[in-house]
A and B are shown apart, each in its own frame.
Chain A
Amino acid sequence: MSSPEQWTHPEPREGPAATAAAPSAEQVIAGLRATSEGGPELVQLLTPEGERVENPEFDRYVADVTAEDLRSLYRDMVLVRRADREANALQRQGQLGIWVPLLGQEAAQIGAGRALRDTDMVFPSYREHGVAWCRGISPKEILGIFRGTDHGSWDSNAKRFHPYTIVIGNQVLNAAGYAMGQRFEGKVGDGDSEATMVFFGDGATSQGDVHEGFVWAAVYDAPLVFFCQNNQWAISEPTERQSRLPLYQRARGYGFPGIRVDGNDVLATLAVSRWALDECRHGNGPVLIEAFTYRMDAHTTTDDPTRYRHSDELEAWKLKDPIERVRVNLVRHEHADQDFFDSVQADADALAADMREFCFNMPEPPVEQMFNHVYAEASPFVDAQRDEYLAYHANFAGGEH
């Protein structure tokens, strides 16, 4: 059994605790977790220069990743970046009211998203367009939020991807509850079990709901991966304004493992996410992952980062680009040729063109939409308000407003 010291600075060891120690349900419930977690402070498998570096703790989690898989991860990242840039442009052209860019966070989101199984549940914040992509949600389905036609049009039950949550940190408690439910239903205990992953940012870690989510998930042994994308900036406030301690180290205070991964390294993020989910499936959750990354664009299209951060910081992070390091690796090992890169670019452009076409043609929402789903069951008051307003509205039909 590991000591609490190991939860944040573990020794390399054989096998994940989940399979090596195979704790019984009773042991887990008693809090007798046997956890192992990885390596140096920042887990990295692909350097910014595209070099594959060995990691005795986490290599095994990506040992099955073939060249084709790596090409697929590359393609995911290029496509979500292209979709992100298209949406940003659509906002600039007045087609969207606002956009929340993910630029720079592609590896963190694709790495985490591709570690998930269909049976897992995901609770996003509002920047997780890349994770949405991995859940089979088209960027088109996200546009309505930012065009103002809806609050999210995907089927969150079918896709197992909860609606975007805009109030900072709320979703962390909702995810803790969902994961508690997975445990109560006996869906935890072996490699076939379910897990939940919740996404939030460095700023959210100051919210009470995130603290409470840590407490609840811990005391109920919930199979929950806390995936914190530390993109260094909460609008204009640097991470130093949120914490004295590296964020992943907070986990120790709650009694579960915390780990920092290079969030610009899709392979490392995939490996660490698979490890964390595996721990959760085996009853050793929760786990905190801090994906160390950088918000390359503004907080949203309303923001102006030139007021609060230096451009040389941005330039330094450009050298750690999540997509470029995979491209270099693929080229160096001759796992991809120019035709491949051209075809990915063509796919990306087609995706963007489709988004654009879709955005231009999105219908206005019907007036009754706002009344119709306030309650699951009848509400005579809201129904009467709707009928009255629709009758009023009909007075203007065909005339001047």
Chain B
Amino acid sequence: MAAPVINKPNGAAATQSLTLGKALNLGLRTAMEADPKVIVMGEDVGKLGGVFRITDGLQKDFGEHRVLDTPLSESGIIGTAVGLAVRGFRPVCEIQFDGFIFPGFDQIVSQVAKLHARTLGRVKVPLVIRVPFGGGIGAVEHHSESPESYFAHTAGLKVVACSNAVDAYWMIQQAIQSDDPVLFFEPKRYYHSGFMKAEVDTTATPDPLFASRLVRAGSTATVVAYGPSVKVALDAATAAEEEGRSLEVIDLRSLSPLDLQPVFESVRRTGRLVVVSEAPSEASLTSEIAARVQQECFYSLEAPVLRVTGFDTPYPPAKLEEEFLPDLDRVLDAVDRSLAW
């Protein structure tokens, strides 16, 4: 099936000031207008507009057969989306919270990821699984996790994470257009925050979906982050500047495939790399980045690749989450350690 061309919404102002959450909503709306086969499904995504209101108003405008309030069953959401995709639909599934994706894990790794390879390319599974992820919202257990490495580890899946409103608007549409299944991670703590609000130009030409982006140039050390950690990295770079240190910050955006060429080029210039992620460190995306950078940039490295991550513990109760989450000080501390090597 041919992927539709992204529509430029008519009538709307070309540039709108949007939060990350509103940008996602507009991106979903634009994709649904462009292709009647795009359907949204998940728990409470209809009348309520999702617990985070990301799908607000979509059921009202597109109807109950295109915005499905589903039974409370994550395996059901993913498993039926597979069948709908086989039928020719392009389902966009919402998993309510990161920690609730695991009942759907079997369908994701056994069917979503493998059907295309199993059929030697005859069956495509063009679905998107949206996952609000990460911590910092003072929630109870299972509401603050970062499970992206499980999916990056799984062949057949593509995994992306947006960090700001402009990317949110474009990346969700590009993920829907992709003929591959895409796990789409959204930094829930910035959905409605002014921090990641941006002027979104809906007539602009977006960057490719599966590409990382240099978001701040620098020369002292390279900091790589994705999702909610991009803001932490940028804040660290601002603080470091006051101390005369120039940090280069790269937003990975795509977690599988990883687009590390810009990282390699950066590290060859700076000689130092700090990787930031809320996920635990063991056998993770940050491990993968460290491994590949040492392989590609061995002679350029002035210090070992250092990681600032969540700890290898279950996500703690909310009163401890600020200790668990990478923050500006821990990133600067890692930069100090790298420079002191």
Choice from B85, B89, B106, B257 contacting A170 with Cβ under 8 Å: B106
Within 8 A of A (CB), among B128-157: 155-156
Asked whether B71 lies within 8 Å of A180 as measured between CB atoms, the reply is no
Given known contacts A216-B76, A373-B120, A176 and B106 CB-to-CB distance under 8 angstroms: no
Q: A179 — which chain B residues lie within 8 A by C-beta? A: 83
On chain A, the number of residues with a Cβ less than 8 Å from chain B's Cβ atoms is 45
Interface string of A351-387 (1 = CB under 8 A from B): 0000000000000000001101111110111100000
- Counting CB contacts under 8 A, is A391 at the interface? no
Given known contacts A157-B123, A208-B75, A381 and B116 CB-to-CB distance under 8 angstroms: no
Given known contacts A155-B122, A173-B76, A376-B179, A212 and B83 CB-to-CB distance under 8 angstroms: no
Distance A150 CA – B121 CA, assembled complex (angstroms): 12
Asked whether A177 lies within 8 Å of B82 as measured between CB atoms, the reply is yes
Interface string of A153-180 (1 = CB under 8 A from B): 1011100001101010010111111111
Given known contacts A156-B119, A374-B117, A173 and B83 CB-to-CB distance under 8 angstroms: yes
Asked whether A216 lies within 8 Å of B71 as measured between CB atoms, the reply is yes
Choice from A212, A373, A380 contacting B79 with Cβ under 8 Å: A212
Interface string of A265-276 (1 = CB under 8 A from B): 000000000000
Asked whether A163 lies within 8 Å of B115 as measured between CB atoms, the reply is yes
Asked whether A181 lies within 8 Å of B83 as measured between CB atoms, the reply is yes
Choice from A163, A176, A372 contacting B83 with Cβ under 8 Å: A176
Distance A375 CA – B113 CA, assembled complex (angstroms): 9
Asked whether A182 lies within 8 Å of B156 as measured between CB atoms, the reply is no
- Counting CB contacts under 8 A, is A219 at the interface? yes
- Counting CB contacts under 8 A, is A13 at the interface? no
- Counting CB contacts under 8 A, is A213 at the interface? yes
Instruction: Name the CB-closest residue of A to B155.
Output: A374
Distance A155 CA – B122 CA, assembled complex (angstroms): 7
Choice from B65, B88, B116 contacting A373 with Cβ under 8 Å: B116
- Counting CB contacts under 8 A, is A97 at the interface? no
On chain B, the number of residues with a Cβ less than 8 Å from chain A's Cβ atoms is 44
Interface centre among A150, A163, A369, A370, by most chain B C-beta atoms within 10 angstroms, is A163
Instruction: Name the CB-closest residue of B to A222.
Output: B80
Asked whether A177 lies within 8 Å of B80 as measured between CB atoms, the reply is yes
Q: B122 — which chain A residues lie within 8 A by C-beta? A: 155-157
Asked whether B82 lies within 8 Å of A212 as measured between CB atoms, the reply is no
Instruction: Name the CB-closest residue of A to B76.
Output: A212
Q: B10 — which chain A residues lie within 8 A by C-beta? A: none
Asked whether B116 lies within 8 Å of A376 as measured between CB atoms, the reply is yes
- Counting CB contacts under 8 A, is B84 at the interface? yes
Measured CB to CB, the closest approach of chain A to B115, in angstroms, equals: 7
Asked whether B84 lies within 8 Å of A178 as measured between CB atoms, the reply is yes
Distance A208 CA – B65 CA, assembled complex (angstroms): 25
Instruction: Name the CB-closest residue of B to A187.
Output: B87
Instruction: Name the CB-closest residue of A to B103.
Output: A208
Distance A373 CA – B121 CA, assembled complex (angstroms): 5
Instruction: Name the CB-closest residue of A to B111.
Output: A170
- Counting CB contacts under 8 A, is B284 at the interface? no
Measured CB to CB, the closest approach of chain A to B84, in angstroms, equals: 4
Choice from A165, A173, A216, A376 contacting B121 with Cβ under 8 Å: A376
Q: B107 — which chain A residues lie within 8 A by C-beta? A: 170, 173, 209
Within 8 A of B (CB), among A221-272: none
Instruction: Name the CB-closest residue of A to B157.
Output: A375
Distance A182 CA – B88 CA, assembled complex (angstroms): 10
Given known contacts A212-B73, A212-B75, A215-B73, A374 and B116 CB-to-CB distance under 8 angstroms: yes
Given known contacts A176-B80, A178-B86, A215-B71, A381 and B119 CB-to-CB distance under 8 angstroms: no
Given known contacts A179-B83, A184-B65, A375-B156, A173 and B75 CB-to-CB distance under 8 angstroms: yes
Distance A65 CA – B65 CA, assembled complex (angstroms): 39
Measured CB to CB, the closest approach of chain B to A330, in angstroms, equals: 39
- Counting CB contacts under 8 A, is A151 at the interface? yes
- Counting CB contacts under 8 A, is A152 at the interface? yes
Given known contacts A156-B119, A181-B89, A173 and B180 CB-to-CB distance under 8 angstroms: no
- Counting CB contacts under 8 A, is B81 at the interface? yes
Measured CB to CB, the closest approach of chain A to B45, in angstroms, equals: 15
Asked whether A375 lies within 8 Å of B79 as measured between CB atoms, the reply is no
Within 8 A of A (CB), among B68-104: 70-71, 73, 75-76, 78-89, 103
Asked whether A379 lies within 8 Å of B257 as measured between CB atoms, the reply is yes
Asked whether A163 lies within 8 Å of B118 as measured between CB atoms, the reply is yes
- Counting CB contacts under 8 A, is B124 at the interface? yes
- Counting CB contacts under 8 A, is B163 at the interface? no
Q: B70 — which chain A residues lie within 8 A by C-beta? A: 216
Asked whether A177 lies within 8 Å of B83 as measured between CB atoms, the reply is yes
Given known contacts A152-B118, A178-B87, A381-B258, A375 and B180 CB-to-CB distance under 8 angstroms: yes
Q: B79 — which chain A residues lie within 8 A by C-beta? A: 170, 172-174, 176-177, 209, 212-213
Distance A287 CA – B64 CA, assembled complex (angstroms): 24
- Counting CB contacts under 8 A, is B110 at the interface? yes
Instruction: Name the CB-closest residue of A to B65.
Output: A184
Asked whether A174 lies within 8 Å of B83 as measured between CB atoms, the reply is yes
Q: A213 — which chain B residues lie within 8 A by C-beta? A: 76, 79
Q: A177 — which chain B residues lie within 8 A by C-beta? A: 79-87
Instruction: Name the CB-closest residue of B to A151.
Output: B118
Q: A382 — which chain B residues lie within 8 A by C-beta? A: 155, 257
Interface string of A129-165 (1 = CB under 8 A from B): 0000000000000000000001111011100001101
Distance A380 CA – B257 CA, assembled complex (angstroms): 7
Measured CB to CB, the closest approach of chain A to B41, in angstroms, equals: 9
Asked whether B110 lies within 8 Å of A170 as measured between CB atoms, the reply is yes
Given known contacts A170-B106, A380-B257, A152 and B119 CB-to-CB distance under 8 angstroms: yes
- Counting CB contacts under 8 A, is B178 at the interface? yes
Distance A312 CA – B17 CA, assembled complex (angstroms): 77
Q: A170-B106, A379-B158 are in contact. List 8 more A-B contacts (CB 8 A).
A: A155-B122, A167-B110, A170-B107, A173-B83, A178-B83, A178-B87, A184-B39, A216-B73
22 A-B pairs with C-beta separation under 8 A: A152-B118, A152-B119, A156-B119, A156-B123, A163-B119, A170-B107, A173-B76, A174-B79, A176-B83, A177-B79, A178-B87, A180-B84, A184-B65, A212-B76, A213-B76, A219-B71, A370-B117, A373-B120, A374-B116, A374-B155, A376-B116, A380-B257
Residues of B at the A interface (CB closer than 8 Å) are 39, 65, 70-71, 73, 75-76, 78-89, 103, 106-107, 110-111, 115-124, 126, 155-156, 158, 178-180, 256-258
